[in-house]
Amino acid sequence: MRKLIKGVHQFQSTYFKTHREFFEELSKEQHPRILFITCSDSRINPHLITQTEPGELFIIRNVGNIIPPYGAATGGEAAAIEYAIEILDIREIVVCGHSNCGAIQGLFKRQTIGSRLPSLSEWLKYAESTRRVVEENFQNLEGDDLVNAAIEEHVLIQIENLRTYPSVNSKLYRGQLNIHAWVYKIETGGVSVYSTERCNIEAEHEPVDPSTMSPVTH
């Protein structure tokens, strides 16, 4: 806590002091350009990764960057998505998974973690599609390769789930919304993306060959 309190004082006396007008304007209203959906993992910092300022990203974070299908859960994800699309008029959505994701690893251990972490096990049921797709279509993989494939597939499945939200589907249909799939590599700082064609999936989901990923380039 001492570090946090020291950080608050430092923020107030340095950054805030030199950006007072910016924060005064920011306090009146927000106009984020992107809905950024990612994991609660402490190693993920959306503003650091994207080098954005306060007010530019509207962020949803939860364990495993999971977006349950519309109507399947009572959490805050649906409310945040609805607000972002209908009120803030956001036109870009990024679903960002990451390497070494504990939630994805947990998908393959739900039976063993259920007694100790019942809430986590219950939450991971919304990612059951990821587990099934990977186990049924990547039988040649194991260990880290299996987890990496699951991380990549998981991001695309969340995009499909986003399409079940009426506000999202309506704007996609009118060409007023774009959805992007990212995977952030903690160990290298790299970000890989999928092509627009893959992100705007309209047919039934098919397993993705990891080689179709492309790193972000300058």
Q: Is the pLDDT of residue 218 over 70?
A: no
Distance CA 137, CA 32 (A): 38
- Helix axis angle for 143-162 and 128-137, nearest 10°, is 130
Look at 108 and 182; give whichever has higher pLDDT: 182
Q: Cβ distance 126 to 72 under 8 Å?
A: yes
Q: Please state the rounded mean pLDDT for residues 169-196.
A: 92
Q: Over the chain, what is the mean pLDDT?
A: 89
> Other C-beta atoms within 10 Å of 151: how many?
24
Check residue 22 and give its pLDDT. 94
Check residue 114 and give its pLDDT. 78
Check residue 10 and give its pLDDT. 93
| pLDDT tier for residue 206 given thresholds of 50, 70 and 90 | very low
List the structure tokens of 158. 């969340």
Check residue 210 and give its pLDDT. 44
Q: Cβ distance 67 to 152 under 8 Å?
A: no
Q: Is the pLDDT of residue 199 over 70?
A: no
Check residue 110 and give its pLDDT. 80
For residue range 56-89, what is the model confidence (pLDDT) as tens digits? 999 999 999 999 999 998 789 999 999 999 999 9
Check residue 115 and give its pLDDT. 81
pTM attached to this predicted model? 0.87
Check residue 33 and give its pLDDT. 94
List the structure tokens of 112. 């063993």
Check residue 21 and give its pLDDT. 93
Q: Is the pLDDT of residue 197 over 80?
A: no
Q: Is the pLDDT of residue 204 over 50?
A: no
Look at 142 and 96; give whichever has higher pLDDT: 96
Check residue 74 and give its pLDDT. 78
Q: What are the backbone dihedrals phi and psi of residue 61, each rounded to the nearest 5 degrees, phi first?
A: -130, 135
For residue range 109-168, what is the model confidence (pLDDT) as tens digits? 887 887 899 999 999 999 999 999 999 999 898 889 999 999 999 999 999 999 999 999
